[in-house]
Amino acid sequence: MSSQIDSSKDKSIRENRSRCDSFVDRLEQKLKCRREQNLFRKRHTLASRQGSTVKIDNHELINFCSNDYLGLANHPEMVSAFKKTADQYGVGSGASSLVCGRCDLHQRLEEKLAEKTGREAALLFPSGYMANLAVATTFAGRADGVFLDRLAHASLIDAARLSNARLHRYQHVDPSSLDLALKKSSSNEKLVLTDAVFSMDGDKAPLKELISVCNVNHAVLVVDDAHGFGVLGKTGGGLLEEKEIPVGDVPIFVATFGKALGTAGAFIAADQTIIETLIQFARTYIYTTAQPPALVSATLASLEVLESESWRREKLGALVKRFCSGASALGLNLLSSETAIQPLVIGGSENASRISHNLFDKGFLITAIRPPTVPEGSARLRITLSAVHTEEQVDRLLETLGSLL
């Protein structure tokens, strides 16, 4: 009897191993296909601080692919605030915000963000991805419709899909396309989600026109200003401030800390009822550990720097103009962008990867962005500028691009 049991166990183990081997073989085939299509992603490992220059594998590189638009990731006041708070509060928050993970610093940051955005309340999230998931899954369901720009960020696309609402895609920055989609929809609630600044193209959403379309069609507009908050507007309030759009015209505002503010995390700002609804029903808020207090403290310090060092936005704007002017003189195929995101479209993925590698060899870090992140045939170098770059570094980049293209 014992030998029969042992034999049965051995057979089961062999079958499990066979299934596992088959599973791994299928994965290997998938990876092989991605390599052959020149779409295989490789990670860089920095051996230095984030900044205008970084070190990778003993190579000193000028960094033109970071989202640290204002160069705040290493700001001494933020570093000091982080260290001081870690000494006082420790490292981890210990629990979710609804259990015991929320401290007075979280409350202070939420109040500061509400004040900064001119809204009644704000709510913190560990990432912009989670904030966008919270919005769509809380405010849309099976009987509703979610409407997205064709070039919406992946977090907005995934959020819409996970909401179980019907997903509608309208043409990029085309209010008339959105208007048509909304008019055709019989959904109960209509939720329109848009980037303010599109992360791969660097262009801006036509917010005033989108607001008009939403008002006519009784839709709720949600704006994700991840790449504009801190950079655009007189005080860094983002695209809404730049366009002088009243707060009430955009019911829900989302932004992140991991770009211009130089830390990590995100927030949603809205009226008190909307925020309270998120607290009660948003799964990505309820079931996740609260941000570490030291990180919250660094973000508070970042908002103070944002107010006191406006020269950073001014310098960034000047560098963007310098780069665009130089690129135009060289005949480079830049997309139309006035922001720190300057996409240089190459076309094929293999060619984009080759140029990225050549730039690396010449001392520049610029990642090749390829499908599925961008549409087929539009692989590009996503060049991003920062307030801590120098004019000389920008000019050197232009000279190098001119020699390679």
**Confidence band (pLDDT; 50, 70, 90) for 292?**
very high
The residues of the chain that CATH labels 3.40.640.10 are 76-308
Span 195-206, average pLDDT: 97
Which CATH code for domain 76-308? 3.40.640.10
d(CA 290, CA 81): 18
d(CA 67, CA 339): 12
Judged against a pLDDT cut of 60, whether residue 379 lies above it is answered with yes
CB-count burial class (<10 Å; 0-12, 13-18, 19+) for 270: buried
pLDDT for 12? 64
Model-level pTM? Answer: 0.92
Span 322-347, average pLDDT: 95
d(CA 17, CA 31): 21
Judged against a pLDDT cut of 70, whether residue 2 lies above it is answered with no
Span 253-259, average pLDDT: 98
Judged against a pLDDT cut of 70, whether residue 203 lies above it is answered with yes
d(CA 275, CA 122): 7
Span 249-269, average pLDDT: 98
Whole-number average pLDDT of the chain = 94
The residues of the chain that CATH labels 3.90.1150.10 are 39-68+310-404
DSSP 224-246: E-TTTTTTSSTTS--HHHHTT--
- Write out the catalytic residue numbers: 199, 227, 259
Span 137-159, average pLDDT: 97
**Cβ atoms within 10 Å, residue 159:** 30
Judged against a pLDDT cut of 60, whether residue 228 lies above it is answered with yes
pLDDT 10s digits, 6-41: 566 666 666 667 777 788 889 899 999 989 888 888
**Top-confidence residue, 59 or 273:** 273
Taking CA atoms, 401 is separated from 202, 366, 398, in Å, by 19, 11, 5
Instruction: Supply the DSSP symbol for 70.
Output: T
Length of the chain: 405
Span 218-241, average pLDDT: 97
Lowest model confidence (mean pLDDT) among 28-37, 202-211, 283-292 = 28-37
Query: CATH fold of 39-68+310-404, please?
Result: Aspartate Aminotransferase, domain 1 (3.90.1150)
pLDDT for 10? 62
Span 375-401, average pLDDT: 96
pLDDT for 23? 85
pLDDT for 7? 62
Span 270-276, average pLDDT: 98
